[in-house]
């Protein structure tokens, strides 16, 4: 996937706060592969609605979203699932992990049917950098929210898609862990050539070179 294009989109069943000032709603925006964007999205601006629409989870919007030249609304479920394997992924604020699986089992779900052995060193390296290496054999249900959040970040990076979307993925991390996770996401996305799109309520509390858009 080389781009995600938003053509004059807006929510179908509600009007976001300050929509007339938005740099995204009712505009023509193109997110290109390899670029880095930070979307500042205050409460009520439709952040989750936009993020899940970009993922192809729902079509409750006016206008069109395109993956390259493909109109998402015209794609069948099989094609959308295919794009989620390689083209686009979304890490939700409310971390979604299978509770009765270990952290490592949850992380390795992201490699699908590929040989998992080739991803073990990556998992161990990323986990060590985020301070969760001792949790890999622990059931997800026995981990704190912050621990699961860091685990989900590792999962998103172990087999990165072309577009990595993060919806408040640092919400339960302290400032030090936020910086470490942000640095890791930047490093791996640059290696893979992936685009990164962050949705945040406010600006990051540290320096960055991301292009900022206001929802």
Give the pLDDT confidence score for residue 112 in this predicted structure. Answer: 81
Is residue 114 a part of any domain in this protein? no
pLDDT for residue 187: 97
123 in a structural domain: no
Answer whether residue 124 is part of any domain.
no
Average pLDDT value for the chain: 94
Q: Does the residue 187 lie in any domain? A: yes
Q: How many angstroms separate the most distant Cα atoms in the chain?
A: 50
d(CA 90, CA 196): 10
45 belongs to a structural domain: yes
- Report if residue 86 sits inside a domain: yes
DSSP assignments along 57-119, one per residue: S---EEEEEEETTEEGGG--HHHHHHHHHHTEEEE-SS----TTSBHHHHHHGGGTTS-GGGG
Domain that holds residue 44: 3-100+162-214
Confidence grade of residue 175 (pLDDT, cut at 50, 70, 90):
very high
pLDDT at 8 (0 to 100)? 97
Confidence of residue 14 (pLDDT cuts 50, 70, 90): very high
**pLDDT score for 122:** 95
Q: 44-76, pLDDT tens digit by residue? A: 999 999 999 999 999 999 999 999 999 999 999
State the pLDDT at residue 117.
85
Tens-place pLDDT, residues 16-34: 998 999 999 999 999 999 9
CATH of the domain at 193: 3.40.50.300
| In the chain, % of residues over pLDDT 90 | 90
Asked if residue 85 is part of any domain, the answer here is yes
Please write the tens of the pLDDT for every residue from 133-143: 999 999 999 99
The pLDDT, as a whole number, for residue 163 is 98
Cα gap 34→195, rounded to integer Å: 4
Q: How far apart are the C-alpha atoms of 48 and 44, rounded to whole Å? A: 10
The residue ranking higher by pLDDT, 92 or 72, is 72
Q: What's residue 215's pLDDT?
A: 95
Cβ neighbours around 172 below 10 Å, total: 17
Predicted confidence at residue 28, as pLDDT, reads: 97
Domain count, the chain: 1
Cβ 148 vs Cβ 71: under 8 Å = no
Q: Is residue 184 part of a domain?
A: yes
Where residue 5 falls among pLDDT bands split at 50, 70, 90? very high
């Amino acid at each position: 996937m080389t781009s995600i294009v938003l053509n004059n989109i807006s929510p179908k069943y509600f009007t976001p706060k300050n929509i007339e000032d938005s740099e995204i709603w009712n505009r023509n925006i193109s997110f290109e592969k390899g670029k880095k964007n930070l979307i500042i999205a205050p409460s009520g601006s439709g952040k989750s609605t936009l993020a899940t629409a970009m993922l192809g989870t729902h079509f409750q919007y006016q206008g069109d979203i395109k993956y390259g030249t493909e109109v998402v609304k015209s794609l069948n479920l099989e094609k959308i699932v295919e794009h989620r394997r390689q083209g686009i992924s979304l890490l939700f604020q409310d971390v979604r992990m299978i509770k009765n699986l270990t952290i490592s089992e949850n992380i390795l779900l992201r490699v699908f049917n590929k040989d998992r052995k080739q991803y073990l060193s990556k998992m161990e390296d990323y986990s060590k950098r985020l301070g969760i290496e001792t949790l890999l054999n622990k059931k997800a249900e026995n981990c704190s929210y912050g621990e699961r959040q860091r685990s989900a970040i590792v999962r998103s990076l172990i087999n990165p898609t072309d577009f990595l979307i993060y919806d408040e993925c640092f919400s339960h991390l302290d400032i030090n862990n936020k910086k470490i996770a942000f640095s890791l996401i930047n490093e791996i996305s640059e290696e893979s050539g992936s685009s990164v799109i962050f949705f945040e309520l406010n600006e990051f509390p540290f320096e960055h070179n991301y292009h900022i858009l206001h929802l």
